[in-house]
């Protein structure tokens, strides 16, 4: 009985703490939303654009909305695999003016992006298995989107972080498309698990605004 009581107390304390965190997040979110309404405030990330908290990013159905964290915290990394390097990833340098030529990437091959989810990173076992199976079945390019620095709790912050990661990935794919002629991005497929699936949606959303 004592053990069960201890578990109950720990559970109760955890629930109370979570409730307090959610209340703090809500107050934080609405505070910045009021600023947005008054000053059209936003958080900008250079060439990747600015991110606001105006609708549809916040509403009665989405009461908690935060700005993406700094890229130094999110640490977006892009790991490139192909049949030439099926197990050892090549890290794509986002500052490289032409990463396609620098890494000898065949831009005309089918290309897959794989994005992990909440509380995960790019080195997940399921990602390694998926990379292996895709390369067995098809001669293709695979780009793993690793945003492990931004996938930590609270969940609402991770949700905010994938907005900017999706945009960065869209810019990367736009650079790839410039080497494909008329084919453009018809051969690109985005795969994601958990928040990685939402991130994949943001990639498509951002691509509509990026010049390809």
Please, what's the b/e burial string for 174-200 (b: 16 or more CB within 10 A of its CB; e: otherwise)? bbbbeebeeeebebbebbbbebbebbb
Q: What are the pLDDT digits (tens) for 162-189? A: 999 999 999 999 999 988 877 778 899 9
Give the C-alpha separation, 198 to 118, whole Å. 11
The verdict on 97 and 143 lying in the same domain is: yes
Q: Which residue has the higher pLDDT, 7 or 158?
A: 158
Q: What are the pLDDT digits (tens) for 43-71? A: 999 999 999 998 888 888 888 889 999 99
Compute the average pLDDT of residues 76-86: 97
Query: Is the CB of residue 151 less than 8 Å from the CB of residue 68?
Result: no
**pLDDT at residue number 41:** 80
Q: What are the pLDDT digits (tens) for 187-196? A: 999 999 999 9
Count of domains observed in the chain: 2
**pLDDT at residue number 189:** 96
Residue 19 covered by a domain:
yes
Distances (CA, A) of 161 to 119, 148, 153, 155, 211: 13, 10, 11, 10, 23
Residue 191 covered by a domain:
yes
The verdict on 86 and 147 lying in the same domain is: yes
Residue 22 has pLDDT above 80, yes or no: no
Q: What is the reported pTM? A: 0.80
CATH of the domain at 127: 3.40.50.1820
Query: Is the CB of residue 179 less than 8 Å from the CB of residue 212?
Result: no
Residue 29 has pLDDT above 50, yes or no: no
* pLDDT, mean over the chain: 84
Percent of the chain whose predicted confidence (pLDDT) is above 90: 62
Q: What angle do CA 55, 120, 124 make, to 5 degrees?
A: 140
Q: How many CB atoms lie within 10 A of CB 89?
A: 20
Closest CA to 141 of 97, 95, 82: 82
Distances (CA, A) of 189 to 113, 115, 212: 6, 11, 16
**pLDDT at residue number 196:** 98
What is the domain extent for residue 149? 68-210
Q: Which residue has the higher pLDDT, 6 or 79?
A: 79
Residue 45 covered by a domain:
no
Residue 62 covered by a domain:
no
Residue 46 covered by a domain:
no
Closest CA to 104 of 133, 87, 130, 82: 82
The verdict on 25 and 112 lying in the same domain is: no
**pLDDT at residue number 40:** 57
Give the C-alpha separation, 107 to 42, whole Å. 35
Q: What are the pLDDT digits (tens) for 106-119? A: 999 999 999 999 99
């Amino acid at each position: 009985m004592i053990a069960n009581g201890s578990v109950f107390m720990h559970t109760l304390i955890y629930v109370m703490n979570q409730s307090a965190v959610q209340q703090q997040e809500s107050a934080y979110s609405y505070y910045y939303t009021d600023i947005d309404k008054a000053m059209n405030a936003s958080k900008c990330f250079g060439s990747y654009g600015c991110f606001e908290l105006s609708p549809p990013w916040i509403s009665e159905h989405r009461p908690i909305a935060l700005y993406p964290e700094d890229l130094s915290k999110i640490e977006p990394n892009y790991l490139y695999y192909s049949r030439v390097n099926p197990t050892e990833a090549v890290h794509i340098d986002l500052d490289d003016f032409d990463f396609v030529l620098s890494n000898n990437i065949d831009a005309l091959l089918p290309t897959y992006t794989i994005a992990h989810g909440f509380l995960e990173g790019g080195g997940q076992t399921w990602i390694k298995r998926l990379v292996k199976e895709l390369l067995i079945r098809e001669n293709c390019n695979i780009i793993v989107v690793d945003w492990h620095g931004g996938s930590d709790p609270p969940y609402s912050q991770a949700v905010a972080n994938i907005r900017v990661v999706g945009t960065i990935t869209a810019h990367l794919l736009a650079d790839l498309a410039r080497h494909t002629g008329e084919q453009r991005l018809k051969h690109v497929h985005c795969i994601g698990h958990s928040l990685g699936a939402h991130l994949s949606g943001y990639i498509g959303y951002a691509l509509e605004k990026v010049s390809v």
